[in-house]
Every structure is written in C-alpha cells, then in structure tokens.
C-alpha cells in the first residue's frame, strides 16, 4: 500500500511540474506544501522525490530546496522537427525507460499494404512498447515494420530508439507524414498501461520515409496528455 501511495504522489508531482509549466532550474514547493497539496504525509513526499532524483528529474540541495534539473516543459514542442520519442525526451533531459515490450510477426493487410507500399501478406513485425520514467508510463508505442529491416536487430534495439537502430543498419528516416488525433482510452488500454483513471491521450499516427520516398515504418504513438503537448508553427502565407 505504501509503495502504491508513493507511486501515486510521484505521478502527482510530475503532473504538477507539467501543469505549472516548470522548466529546468525551477524550485518546487516545500515538502510540507506538497504534502498538504496531495493530502499525504511528508515521508511519502520525501520518498517520491527521492525516486525522481534517481531518475535525474529532481535535485535536492541542502538548505535550498528541491529543483527541477530536467526540462519536461519542452516535451513535444516543435514537432515539425522529426525525432523519436527517445530523442524527444533526451533533448529535455529525460531518459525514458522501456517498461514493457511485446513483438509479434504479422502479415500485411490491405491498410498496411497501402501505407507502406508493399504487397499484401508481406511479413512484418508488430512492436508494442510502454515507455516512461521509472515505473510511470508516459507513452504507448505501436510500430509496424517490414521484417527484413529487422533481420539483424539485437534485444537492445527493440527497447530503445527505432530510428537509431535502423540507422545503425544503414536505413535512415528522413521525414514522416503524420496525423494528430485526440484519443480517449478504453478500459483495456488503461489496464494495459496500469492507469487507474481515464486521461486523454494524443495519438500521433505517421508513416516514416527514407530520402528516396520509400515508406519504412508505420507508427501509432499514444502520448499521455498530462506530460506531453505538441506545438506547431503555423504561417499565414
């Protein structure tokens, strides 16, 4: 029960950081203030902060307070720049961990055949991953990729950035065509991510291409809206 409460408070602290738009160097309220805000004991807040320090999100300086050493407010900003979720988080000073990985071999149906420009029933790999900070899920990723592109993948390649794994095999993603879709998760989705309450997600659905215009990868990325927001520069021409 104590662990569940600490995990809950850790999530509340992260949500507070995002909600208030805090950036690197910002000072958090005192432990007493956070305990009052979340209606928990100070020891629970201390444990939650200690966990976030281990994740290199917070730093406590004796006599000065607790400070944000990452920059989560930049997560998802400027999505006109193509980055993997790993790269996006790393640019904000956050190191994502893979909480769960599932992969299976499938055959291309009519939809995937059209999106990737490949024959029906071509062999594919469907990769499903939950990624987050410590044990807190921040996003759920589904990627569909032709099996031949993954022939020499190591176990580690399935856990980190697919962009980087592909680049190491000589396949470079140059651009993508994307849709941003609001997504209200159902009970099965919430259970899969271990979330106890329904929160909206932002679904980024895209096809990735190499410089020759060859489709390489079809992705559906579900971003927890309490931790990610997207900004797009729009110009009046």
**Dist CA 4 CA 49 (whole Å):** 14
Mean pLDDT by 10 residues, the chain (237 residues): 72 83 89 94 93 87 90 67 80 83 96 97 97 86 96 89 91 93 94 88 95 96 85 77
Alpha-carbon dihedral of residues 98, 100, 104, 109, nearest 10 degrees? -80
Q: Is 2-73 a CATH 1.10.1060.10 domain?
A: no
What secondary structure letter does DSSP report for 170?
T
What SS3 class is residue 41? coil
CA nearest neighbour of 93 among 79, 72, 121:
72
Phi-psi region of 115 (alpha: psi -120 to 50; beta: other; left: phi over 0): alpha
Give the strand pairing for 136-146 and 175-183: unpaired
CB 69 within 8 A of CB 108: no
* Token reading at 228: 């990610």
β-bridge pairing 201-209 and 215-224: antiparallel
Alpha-carbon distance of 196 to 236, in angstroms, equals 42
What the block records as the tokens of 66 is: 């607790």
pTM of the model: 0.79
Tokens of 120: 């029906």
Distance separating alpha carbons of residues 125 and 68, to the nearest angstrom? 38
Residue with tokens 């904000």: 92
pLDDT score recorded for residue 77 = 63
CA distances from 58 to 24, 52, 140 (A): 9, 6, 24
Query: By C-alpha distance, which of 1, 2, 9 is closest to 134?
Result: 9
Q: Where in the chain is the domain with CATH 3.40.1410.10?
A: 75-224
Q: Was domain 75-224 assigned CATH 3.40.640.10? A: no
Domain with CATH 1.10.10.10 in the chain: 2-73
């Amino acid at each position: 029960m104590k662990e569940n409460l600490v995990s809950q408070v850790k999530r509340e602290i992260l949500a507070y950081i995002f909600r208030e738009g805090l950036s690197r160097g910002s000072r958090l309220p005192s432990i007493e203030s956070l305990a009052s805000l979340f209606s928990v004991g100070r020891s629970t807040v201390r444990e939650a902060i200690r966990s976030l320090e281990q994740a290199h999100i917070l730093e406590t300086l004796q006599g000065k307070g607790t400070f944000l050493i990452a920059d989560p407010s930049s997560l998802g900003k400027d999505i006109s720049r193509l980055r993997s979720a790993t790269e996006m988080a790393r640019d904000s000073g956050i190191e994502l961990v893979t909480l769960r990985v599932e992969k299976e071999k499938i055959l291309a149906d009519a939809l995937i055949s059209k999106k990737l420009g490949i024959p029906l029933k071509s062999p594919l790999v469907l990769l499903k991953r939950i990624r987050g900070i410590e044990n807190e899920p921040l996003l759920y990723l589904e990627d569909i990729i032709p099996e031949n592109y993954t022939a020499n993948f190591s176990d580690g390649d399935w856990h980190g950035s697919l962009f980087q794994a592909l680049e190491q095999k000589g396949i470079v993603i140059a651009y993508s065509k994307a849709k941003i879709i609001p997504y209200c998760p159902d009970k099965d989705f919430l259970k899969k991510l271990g979330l106890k309450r329904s929160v909206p997600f932002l679904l980024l659905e895209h096809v990735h291409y190499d410089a020759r215009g060859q489709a390489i990868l079809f992705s559906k990325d579900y971003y927890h809206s309490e931790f990610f927001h997207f900004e797009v520069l729009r110009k009046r021409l």
